[in-house]
Amino acid sequence: MDQFIRKASLVGSVTLAMAVIAGCGGGGGGSSGSSAPAPAPVAQKGTLNVAITDGPGDTYNHVWVTISAISLHTSPDEIWNPDDATWQTTQLPAPVTVDLASLNNGTLANLFQNIVLPVGTYRQIRLFFVGANQDLSSSAQSIKDNETPPAPLQWNDQVEYQDSSGTLHEAPLEIAYPTQGVQLLGSFAVTQDSTLNLAVDFDLEKIIVPFEHDGGEAFTMRPNLAYFDLNQSGAITGQVDPTRICQPSVLPSSTCAYNLIVHAELLSADGSRHWAARSTSVDPVTGQFVLYPVDLKDPNGNPLSYDLVVRGRNMETLLVTGIAPAGTPTSSPTVVQTAPLEPTISATEYTAQLASPLQPLTSGFSLYQETLPVSSQVAHPVPYEIRWGNTDPFSGILFQPMPLENANILLAPYNGGDTLSFTSVIPQEGLGGYNVADNENAYYTLSNNLLVQAPTSGSSTTFTPPIPTLDAGIQRGSVSGNIAVANAAQYDHGTLVLSRFATIVTAVDISADLASGGAFSIGNLPAGDPTTPVPGAYYYGYLRLWKAGTGLPAKIVTIPGFVDLRKTASVTGFNVTVSAN
C-alpha cells in the first residue's frame, strides 16, 4: 500500500515550509518472571464482501473510475496513514476500471470479495482511486470509449457526455487528492465466521461536479457516498410508459419526457424535509426502473416506508406515497403499479441560476424542493427533494442553469400494486415554484429555504443563494502563507485547492503569483479549538496549473502533509515552493 501511495503522489514536486503531520506509534513495556507466557488467543475473523452500485446521472453516457484498494478502520476519526497497521487494507491485484453509469437499476459490481477481517465494529471505509493524472492503468487501456472509431480511455477517471446538439465530449474526472481515499462513514459489524455483504452507492447526480476549465467543461467529484447491507435490503420496481419517453436515438423534443429520475424519499431526522435515500434512472427504451438496494428498516429496527418521486424534463412530477420495499429485483419486489405509469407531458419549464457565488465557500450544492398542499392525505407537509445542483467549486455558481418544471404535481397513495389514482395538485410554492436551500461540503448546516418562482416573462430567472451557517461548536478557521512556482513560464493560470476526503472545500486563484510568488489567505474553513476539537477539520492541498487556450487538462501538483485545523482556528506559514516541471 505504501508503494501505491508514493506512486500516486509523483505528479509534481513540492517543498512545504510548514509542520507536516506524521503518524506516531506508541511505545511498549516488558515484564519479568519464570512462568511461560500464555499462548496468544486465536483471533476471531469474519468475512466482508463489498460491491458498488450507482444512482442516476441524467446527463452522462459514461463515468469511468479506476479503483485500486479499500481500507477499513474501527474509528470514524482516524486519519489515513499507509504505515498504520490499525487500518485493514486490501489492495486489488491490479486496478479495476468501472463505468459507474452502467451500475444503475439494481446492477452491482462485486469489486472486493472475501475480505477476511478481525471481528469488530467498523466505522470508516476508504476507497482508493488511481488519479486521472497518473499513468494510464492497464484496465483503463483495455476499455474502448464511444468515439468513431472507438479508442482506449485517455484517463483513469473519465466522463463521457453529449451536449444538447448530440455532440460527444470527453473529459478527465479530477478526483481531489485521491491518495487520501474517498471516505465513507457508518457502523457495520463483522462477526465471527459470518459474511457481511455491503453495497456502496455512488449517486452520479450528486457526486459528479461540473466546472469551467479553460472555456470548456471539466469535472471533479463530491463523493458523498452511502452504503447498504444487502442482507437487510429490499427492492421497489416499476415502469413508465416508454411511448411517452424520448428515445435515445433522437434528440429530446417538446412532445416527450426525458431524463427521468426516481427518488425513494424519507423524512429527515429533524422532520423538516424529505431526502432522497436512494435514486435510479428510468430506462428510456423500456421505461423500467429498479430501486435496489433500499433499506428495509431504520437504525432502530422499525420498518421503513418511502415516498416515490418520479421527475423528468417535459413532464409533471409524479409522487406516490407509502411504499415499503421487499424482496430483490428478481424475487418478490414491491411493484409500484402493474401497468406502466402514464406521465403527463408538460413542456413548460424555465431555468434558474445563482445571481452571485455561494457563500461563505464557493464549493457546495443547492436543493430544489416542492411541498404538497395541506389535505386529508397530507396533514403536515414538508418539502420533497426534486432536483440537486452542485456549484462550480471555483466560481460558486451552477455550471449550467437548473431546469425546473413549471407544472403541477400528480399525487397518489400506494395501492398495493394496483392502479394508482392520481390527483393533480399545485405545490405550496405555487405553480412552478420551488423552495431552494444551499449548503457547503463540510460542517455547515443547510440554509433556510428561499422561494424561487417561475419568471413572469421569459424562460430564465436568477436568485441570490441563501447562506448556510456553521454547525454548532464549529469555528471559522483560516490558513495563510506564501506561494512561489519555479519554472512556471509554461502556465498562466493556477489555483490552490484545499480538499477533504476527495472533495474540494475551497480554492484561491494564484494566477497572478505564478511568476513572482505572493501571499494568500483562505477563510471560513470549518475548524475546532483546544476545548472543542473537530476531528475532521484537516485539509489537503494541491495546485491546478494550465495554459489558457491550449484545451489541455490542468496539471495537478500535490502538496505533502495537511493543514490541521482540528484544534486551532488559524494556520500561518503555509509557504509552498513548487517546481512545476
Query: Quick one: average pLDDT of 397-420?
Result: 96
> Domain 472-579 maps to which CATH number in 1.10.3470, 2.60.40, 3.30.70, 1.10.1740?
2.60.40
Lowest mean pLDDT among 339-348, 369-378, 565-574: 369-378
User: What per-residue confidence (pLDDT) applies to 490?
Assistant: 82
pLDDT exceeds cutoff 60 at 420 = yes
pLDDT exceeds cutoff 60 at 28 = no
Query: Quick one: average pLDDT of 536-553?
Result: 92
Residue 560 pLDDT class (50, 70, 90 cuts): confident
The rounded distance, in Å, linking the Cα atoms of 160 and 43 is 47
Query: Quick one: average pLDDT of 415-436?
Result: 96
Percentage of the residues of the chain whose pLDDT score is greater than 90 = 75
pLDDT exceeds cutoff 90 at 532 = yes
The 10s digit of each residue's pLDDT in 47-76 is: 999 999 987 776 788 999 999 999 999 999
User: What per-residue confidence (pLDDT) applies to 163?
Assistant: 80
pLDDT: which is higher, 578 or 335: 335
Choose among 95, 60, 51: nearest CA to 209: 60
User: What per-residue confidence (pLDDT) applies to 27?
Assistant: 34
User: What per-residue confidence (pLDDT) applies to 16?
Assistant: 41
Strand order in the sheet with 349-354: 402-405, 349-354, 460-463
The amino acid occupying position 44 is Q
User: What per-residue confidence (pLDDT) applies to 90?
Assistant: 96
Phi–psi pair at 139, nearest 5 degrees: -70, -40
User: What per-residue confidence (pLDDT) applies to 37?
Assistant: 56
How many beta carbons lie within 10 A of that of residue 14, not counting itself?
Answer: 20
Residue 116 pLDDT class (50, 70, 90 cuts): very high
pLDDT exceeds cutoff 90 at 254 = no
pLDDT exceeds cutoff 70 at 39 = no
Place of cell 431546469: 403
User: What per-residue confidence (pLDDT) applies to 29?
Assistant: 36
Residue 17 pLDDT class (50, 70, 90 cuts): very low
Question: What are the CA-CA distances from residue 47 to residues 118, 230, 431 (Å)?
Answer: 9, 14, 52
Percentage of the residues of the chain whose pLDDT score is greater than 70 = 92
pLDDT exceeds cutoff 60 at 11 = no
The 10s digit of each residue's pLDDT in 163-190 is: 877 788 899 999 999 989 999 999 999 9
User: What per-residue confidence (pLDDT) applies to 55?
Assistant: 77
User: What per-residue confidence (pLDDT) applies to 376?
Assistant: 63
H/E/C letters for each residue in 258-296?
EEEEEEEEEECCCCCCEEEEEEEECCCCCCEEEEEEEEC
DSSP character string of 214-242:
TTEEEEEE----EEEEGGGEEEEEEEB-G
Phi–psi pair at 429, nearest 5 degrees: -75, -5
Q: Is the peptide bond before 293 cis (omega within 30 degrees of 0)?
A: yes
Question: Do residues 328 and 235 make contact, with C-beta atoms less than 8 angstroms apart?
Answer: yes
Query: What value does the mean pLDDT of the chain take?
Result: 89
Residue 101 pLDDT class (50, 70, 90 cuts): very high
Query: Quick one: average pLDDT of 462-481?
Result: 95
pLDDT exceeds cutoff 50 at 350 = yes
Map out the domains of the chain as residue ranges. Answer: 1-12+44-224, 236-322+344-414+424-470, 472-579
Query: Quick one: average pLDDT of 98-114?
Result: 93
Query: Quick one: average pLDDT of 440-468?
Result: 95
Residue 41 pLDDT class (50, 70, 90 cuts): low
The rounded distance, in Å, linking the Cα atoms of 510 and 148 is 39
Phi–psi pair at 292, nearest 5 degrees: -160, 135
